[in-house]
Each structure stands twice: as structure tokens, then as C-alpha cells.
Amino acid sequence: MSSALNSDIQFLSGVGPKRAALLKTELGIETFNDLLHIYPFRYIDRSRITPIAEVRGDLAYVQIQGTVVSSTLIGPGGSTAMAAGGPIPLRAAKRLSVIVDDGSGRMEMVFFKGIKWNYERLKPGNAFLFFGKPSEWSGRLNIVHPEIDAPLMGGAEAKGTLTGVYPSTEKLKNGGITGKVMCKLQSAALAVCLPDIKENLPDYVLKDNALVPLAYALRNIHFPADHYALEKAVRRLKFEELFFLQLSLLKQKYIHSRGSVGIPVTKVGAAFNSCFNTLPYELTGAQKRVIREIHNDMKSGHQMNRLLQGDVGSGKTMVAVLSALLAVDNGYQACIMAPTEVLAQQHFANISKYLVPTGVRCSLLTGSSTQKERREIHAGLEDGSIGIIVGTHALLEDNVVFRALGLAIIDEQHRFGVDQRAKLWSKGPGIPPHVLVMTATPIPRTLAMTLYGDLDVSVIDELPPGRKPVKTTMISDAKKGAVYNFMEKQIALGRQVFVVYPLIFESEKMDLNNLEMGYEEILRRFPDPAYKVAIVHGQQNADVKNFNMAAFVAGRAQILVSTTVIEVGVDVPNASVMVIESSQRFGLSQLHQLRGRVGRGAEESYCILVHDYKTSAEAKKRLELMCATNDGFEIAEEDMKMRGPGDLEGTQQSGLPIKLAIASLAKDGRMLNEARIYADKVLNADPKLESQANRLLAEELRKGKYNTKDYSKIS
């Protein structure tokens, strides 16, 4: 990269050390090049002048051209004169009111800052061009702090008709870096850097994909010549970003799949067959397809790295058991790692039932395992007599040694840190084990291609027969009485009820109060001894939490009041009602995960979304979608469109692996697909990008900008 692009941002005309510090902390801009890659997120059309008579308070932005009629300094309390009767002096003025006339009407321009400068500049009788957001105050239209330019003379067109609006913050505005200043800085950076901008895509890539050169794109993304030039610039920059992202991911995958040696799991043996043939139900077509995909990977001679996505209740555990038995039949061991003790215990209980006809020994290792149990488990893993081990982080401890670990299955893998998982990787017999990552969080296809771009993805997109969709309704918290009556009826039928409260980081104290108050209210409405109510939240220690959860799972408590700690995996077939308090505060995917805790038995199940009277239109739209569909993938796609892809689960767990500057996974799915197919084609011809034609691609990837967190491998 040339020296101009690499120059420290403080040396750009109009910046200096103070503004440079602000640009760095607020937008991460350190060099001229960084600045040029901060793109406008929308554009304002400055070509039209609106007559004052047509201005309304609900318009986004308007540009008017008018003559100043009067300019009035206003003091404290709105007075226009001193107590002695003379005019307000400049130093005492709190605001400036300027009345402008364009022949069709009059309008006020208001200034709270820069009063002296604007008072001296906006003299009555002079014409100016004013641009800003109109608003209404005391029945009168005004624009607060408009941008001001010299008037257009003799019907001249407005210069630079499309003006970019850049990301900003309160600190930037207070530091004087307004939208107008940002445009000036971009203009200054382009003037210095344009001659130095080197193309980073080979000619053949530009030609194949009808892309404009990088210099053209950067000039027209900031200062479009017209709408058509802007369109071409946007397409070029988006495609480049998505193409390099996919190229980086697929290159890792190509090198890994071609270079990795995998444990050979070729035969389908007695354990697999005896489990499969004694299942109490027929597997769905989707489950059978996924097991075939997994077996093909495991016998390929290369290491499997596969993501298994399946909506809540789609039968992922059964797929995990049969995959583990493939490893056992070939003389290897399998481990299934879950993020919580409750989930590990549940997996163990379910899996043990399926393993009865196989004779395969299965054990459970968690933080609660006793010393005696641990000694037996460690010995069984080392001598190979334990075929399948289910556990939590306890599986990662150094003294857990396998005789021959052939398959590692990781449930809800985003809950495990990369370093922790690396330990599991090293427990294989010299060759890394096959890896199956499972998630019940439906991930939109575009996001899966980015988060897990170098994994092979399997999807169980069919629910087992007999599973009834959960009936979902939304209700205002003013009608809480009706909800309690419904709960009472369901409990009388022998069912159990979840009541979930939000516990969202920013207002933890307030949320905890709400949870406690809700718990007290439920205790009053459902008193002991006729009812038993358990409570679970993150502030409790593990023993209390496990005791209360176990009471509900065992049916000793009819109601479980909790925070979202029950979001993943808790299986209580007898629970048929899920009440979600303040449901407007949850994201769609999280609501869907919570809803998945009911409807696991044969009974009709219900999810009641309680919202308060202040719920926004957007939040209501989310809740309505929940009532309309039970399809997790449809919900995840909509969630991403509504909230963006950065934080899909409504928790702090799932950021994007890289920050996209211009492309959007929510809106550019088709282009992402195109970019992936094209990246695949490039790598098919030249997997290591060693040819002269691909020199630029290899250079760009070496900069490390597109290195994603490696979500696929455990190391």
C-alpha cells in the first residue's frame, strides 16, 4: 500500500491531533485508507429545491432557497429585549432566530450554537441555500442548525446532487465532526489518495463479474456522479468484500480437506444396527440423509468438520447417538460435550435408553461427579471400555485421557471458547478426531455461510411425526389475570408451566427486581401447599440452581420461574405452557428457543407472549411473526432482516467473525452466493492461489483482514 494511503489521519487537511483522536476512538479510523473505507449508509438528494409552501414537519430533509427577512437574538426565557428595553447583546443570546422568505412563504431557521458567526453572516436582504430536517414547534415550521450555502444562480443545478450521510456519534458531533465536515475530509483524502489506489482484484475477476475499477468505486461511493455510478460503485465494493471473505474461508477448507488425514470409520457394525433396528419410531427422511452425510465424511480418509443445524425437537440427539455408534463399531470412542450440567445430564439419560440394546458402555462426567466416579471413568476411557462419554467442560481436564477418541460431538458450540475446545482436539489418537458441531439455533443460510463457511453444513429440516406445533399468542400485561387462570387449568390437568423473565445485561438490577416481584406475585396466586413454585436465575450458586431445576424436571414443582438460563436444551415433556414476560425485549431467535422448551410431549402446548403497553410497533411485528409461524429458519431470516446479523441470539454470544464495511448478510444473500460460487471456481483452478494471475488475491488475503475466527475446527 502506498505511503499516502498509509498516512496517519491527523495529517489530513482539516483533522489535526484532537480530531484524529476522536476519529480513532469513535470510528476506528487511523489512516487515510481507513477513512476512505468508511462509507455513507444513505444519500440525500440535493438536486431539488422545495418551496417553503410545500414543507411539512414530517419530511426527512429539505433544501430551500430564500432571502433573510429578519435576524433576532433571543435571551434567557425567550425574551427579545433587555430589561432596560434595548436589544439582547450577542454575549447574552441563548439562540438566534432567522426568518427566511422564498416568495411562496416564510420559515424560521434556529441556531443554538455559532450564534455570533451566523448573526454576522445572515444579514437581512441576502439570499442563501438552507438544508436540513424540518420540524414543528408551537405550530411554526423551522429547521434547527441548517447547513448553509451560497444560493444557486440563474437556475444552476445543485452541485454534487447526492450527498453521503456517514456513521456518526454524539462525541463526533460535539467535537465538530459534522456530516458536512466528514464530506470535506473524504474529499481531501480522495484528492491525495486517488492516484495511489491500486487494484486488488485481477483483471479476469473484474471482467467475469462486470465490476468497475477500485478507484472509480471509491470516488463514486463518496461523491457519486449520478445514481448509475453509485449503483456500480456499491456493487463493486460489496462483491469484493463478500468474495474475499468467502475466498478466505474456502481456502482454509480446501487446504484442510485436502491435507487432513481422517480416522477411517468405514463399517456399519452391530452396535449401530441393534440401536437403529430397535428404535421406537421411524427416523425422518432428513435424519437419514444427515447420517449418510456424516458417514460419508467419516469414511472419506479426511477429517470431518460438519455443522449440524436442526430446529428445536428435530431429533439431533438421535443423529448424534447413531454417529457415535459408527465410531464405536470401528474401534473408536466418542464424546458428546454439552454447555451446561443440566443439558449433559439430560443427554446422558436419553442416550442411555437408546444404548440398552447395543451393550455399549456410556458414562457421564460433569463438575458434580464424585472422586470415585471420576476414577472409574478415567480408567474406563483409558482402557477403552467406555465407548461413549457425555460431559461438560470437565471432559477438557488434563487427566481425562482417551484410548482412541474418534468423534467429538459439540452441542451448542458457540458456548465454548476456542482455547477450551483446542484441548479436546489434542485428545485424539495422534490423528485429530472427526468433529460434529450441533446447534438448535437456526442460522440463516447467508450467516451460516459466513460464520461456518469452512464447514460442511447439514440441516435437519423436518420434525418427527406426532410433534404438534406450539400454539402461540400475544397478550398485554394488563390481562395477566387471564394468563394465571389458564395456567391454573393446565396445572389441574397435570401439566407444568415455565414463566420466563428477561435478564438483559444493561439493566440487570432492574430485571432481577422484576423477576423477584413476579415470583412473589406467582407465589401469592399459586400458594403452598397446593402448588410448588421453583425459581432459577444466574445469580444463584450452582447447587441451588441445580436443585430447583431438578425439582421441576422431576415434576415436584409445577411452575418454574426463571431467566433465560433455561433457553437451551432443558427437556421436560410434561411442561406444556411457556409464559414469556416482557416478551418485547427478546429477539426473535431467543423467543423461538424459549418456545422450544414446550411441545416436547404428546400434549397440546402453548406459548404466551406477555408484552407491556409501551411496546413499539417493531417489537409488536416480531411478536406477531412468532404467533404466525413455528419455522425456526423463517424466524431467523426475519430476525436478521429486522435486527441485522451481528447479534442474532439476543445475547452477547454471537458476533460476526469479521466486520463488514458495506455488504449486509441480511440484504445481500444473493450476492454472497454469487461470490461464494465464484470463489469456489477460482480455488478449484488454483487451490493455493499460486499462479501469476492470482497474485493480487494472495496479497490481499495475506493482509489478514478477512481472517475469521475459526468456528469450524476445535483448534
Residue 236 near residue 212, CB atoms below 8 Å:
yes
pLDDT at 714: 33
Domain endpoint, select from 427, 460, 493:
460
Stretch 101-116: mean pLDDT: 91
- Claim to verify: residue 487 and residue 446 sit in the same structural domain: no
Stretch 401-415: mean pLDDT: 83
- Strand residue runs (E) in 56-177: 62-74, 95-101, 106-111, 127-132, 134-137, 140-144, 147-149, 162-165
Range of the domain at 102: 60-148
Q: Is the confidence at residue 500, as pLDDT, over 80?
A: yes
pLDDT at 102: 93
Q: Is the confidence at residue 417, as pLDDT, over 60?
A: no
Residue 193 near residue 179, CB atoms below 8 Å:
no
Q: What is the pLDDT of residues 602-642, one digit of tens each?
A: 778 999 999 988 788 888 888 998 998 887 777 777 777 66
Stretch 524-541: mean pLDDT: 88
CATH, residue 376 = 3.40.50.300
- Claim to verify: residue 117 and residue 172 sit in the same structural domain: no
- Claim to verify: residue 476 and residue 599 sit in the same structural domain: yes
Domain endpoint, select from 412, 430, 460:
460
pLDDT at 696: 94
Residue 144 — pLDDT band, cuts 50, 70, 90?
very high
pLDDT at 32: 95
Residue 512 CA, distance from chain mean position: 25
CA dihedral over 104, 106, 107, 113, signed as positive or negative = positive
CA–CA dist 161, 48 (Å, integer): 8
Residue 339 near residue 411, CB atoms below 8 Å:
yes
CA–CA dist 571, 347 (Å, integer): 9
Q: What is the pLDDT of residues 183-201, one digit of tens each?
A: 999 999 999 999 989 999 9
Q: What is the number of structural domains in the chain?
A: 4
- Claim to verify: residue 15 and residue 42 sit in the same structural domain: yes
Higher local confidence (pLDDT), 443 or 221: 221
* Sheet-wide strand order for 95-101: 134-137, 140-144, 106-111, 95-101, 62-74, 127-132, 147-149
| Block residue for cell numbers 454472497 | 672
Pairing mode of beta strands 62-74, 127-132:
antiparallel
Q: Does any domain span residue 673?
A: no
Q: Does any domain span residue 433?
A: yes
- Angle subtended by helix axes 695-702 and 227-259, to nearest 10: 80
Q: Where are the alpha helices (DSSP H) in 260-364?
A: 270-277, 285-298, 316-329, 341-355
CA dihedral over 111, 117, 119, 124, signed as positive or negative = negative
- Claim to verify: residue 64 and residue 127 sit in the same structural domain: yes
Q: Does any domain span residue 205?
A: no
- Claim to verify: residue 622 and residue 523 sit in the same structural domain: yes
| Upstream peptide bond of 529 is cis (omega within 30 degrees of 0) | yes
CATH, residue 181 = 1.10.150
CA–CA dist 543, 331 (Å, integer): 38
pLDDT at 509: 59
DSSP bridge pairs for 135: 142
Residue 126 — pLDDT band, cuts 50, 70, 90?
very high
Cα three-residue angle 386-391-395, rounded to 5 degrees: 80
Residue 39 near residue 90, CB atoms below 8 Å:
no
- Claim to verify: residue 520 and residue 605 sit in the same structural domain: yes
Q: What percent of the residues of the chain are helix, what percent strand, and what percent coil, each to the nearest 5? A: 45, 15, 40
Residue 544 near residue 482, CB atoms below 8 Å:
no
* Residues above pLDDT 90, as percent of the chain: 45
Spell out the residues 6+ positions from residue 169 whose beta carbon is closer than 8 angstroms to its own. Answer: 26, 27
Residue 650 — pLDDT band, cuts 50, 70, 90?
very low
Higher local confidence (pLDDT), 260 or 113: 113
Q: Is the confidence at residue 167, as pLDDT, over 90?
A: no
Q: What is the pLDDT of residues 226-279, one digit of tens each?
A: 889 999 999 999 999 999 988 988 887 777 666 678 889 999 999 999 999 998
Closest to 498 (Cα-Cα) out of 529, 461, 535, 464: 535
**One-letter identity of residue 337:** M
Residue 34 — pLDDT band, cuts 50, 70, 90?
very high
Q: Does any domain span residue 99?
A: yes
- Claim to verify: residue 336 and residue 449 sit in the same structural domain: yes
Pairing mode of beta strands 140-144, 147-149:
unpaired
Mean pLDDT of the chain: 84
Q: Does any domain span residue 667?
A: no
Q: Is the confidence at residue 138, as pLDDT, over 90?
A: no
CA–CA dist 160, 519 (Å, integer): 60
Domain endpoint, select from 410, 438, 460:
460
Residue 551 CA, distance from chain mean position: 34
Residue 412 near residue 339, CB atoms below 8 Å:
yes
- Claim to verify: residue 547 and residue 501 sit in the same structural domain: yes
| Block residue for cell numbers 411496546 | 615
Closest to 568 (Cα-Cα) out of 413, 336, 389, 443: 413
Residue 282 DSSP one-character state:
P
Q: Does any domain span residue 649?
A: no
CA–CA dist 576, 598 (Å, integer): 5
- Claim to verify: residue 416 and residue 486 sit in the same structural domain: no
pLDDT at 42: 81
Q: HSE-up of 376 (CA within 13 Å, CB side)?
A: 10
Give helix then strand counts, H and E, for the chain: 24, 22
Residue 67 near residue 101, CB atoms below 8 Å:
yes
User: SS3 of 701, please?
Assistant: helix
Quick one: cell of 336? Answer: 458428546
Q: Which residues of 345-359 are buried (b: 16+ CB within 10 A; e: fewer)?
A: bbbbebbbebbeebe
- Claim to verify: residue 130 and residue 179 sit in the same structural domain: no
Q: Does any domain span residue 258?
A: no
Q: Does any domain span residue 548?
A: yes
Quick one: cell of 211? Answer: 465490476
**Cα→Cα distances 708→259, 402, 448, 684, Å:** 20, 31, 13, 21
User: SS3 of 580, please?
Assistant: strand
Residue 499 near residue 559, CB atoms below 8 Å:
yes
User: SS3 of 426, please?
Assistant: coil
Q: Is the confidence at residue 203, as pLDDT, over 50?
A: yes
CATH, residue 77 = 2.40.50.140
Residue 159 — pLDDT band, cuts 50, 70, 90?
low
- Claim to verify: residue 495 and residue 440 sit in the same structural domain: no
Q: Is the confidence at residue 18, as pLDDT, over 70?
A: yes
